[in-house]
Amino acid sequence: MELPNITILNEKDKRLRQISKEVKFPLSLEDKKMINDMLTYLQMSQIEEEREKYNLRAGWGLSAVQLGVLKRIFVIAEELEDHSFKNYIIINPQIESYSEELIYVGEGEGCLSVDRDVKGIIPRYARMTIKAQDIDGKNITMRVREDISIAFQHEIDHLNGILFVDRIDPKNPYKNKEFMREI
């Protein structure tokens, strides 16, 4: 695998605070290449030898805005038990419904645009249904749960100009922990 030539914006970049625009179809070749590069980067970041070789931070998801492209596109590369990857390409997502149950990542969320340790938890829906489009513009409906639900919410926040650090109460970073389930 060859490391894609992409630059992930740092949290100080003002573009990360902008709301991404709806994507029109068909996708350009440039957009398709960006999606492929994002998935390749994420997969490489999760393979130990590649991560060490290129000094990468491990990541599950990336939004187009993190590359400075203000389009409602995000991808997730989920490493499976057999070390293969399940790739999600999500375009123009809308949350249709969500569970009342809230969960949080016990060790805290991370982000490829936030290169520092951040203490605190973010309430996320345990399950949700989203409507979106795939890479060909076909309408899709997906039900996601647990860690994938968290990843989807994290990336949808990016598309809306929100970083995970914005969702942590600075005065009480573990606020309402007792009302949520840790994963």
* Residues taking part in catalysis: 155
CA distance 149 to 137: 22
Beta carbons within 8 Å of 17's beta carbon, 6+ residues apart: 161
CA distance 89 to 79: 15
Strand partners, 95: 130
CA distance 112 to 114: 6
Contact 76, 87 (CB under 8 A): yes
Question: How many CB atoms neighbour CB 155 within 10 A?
Answer: 24
- Please give the full DSSP string across 129-154, using - where no structure is assigned: EEEEE-TTS-EEEEEEEHHHHHHHHH
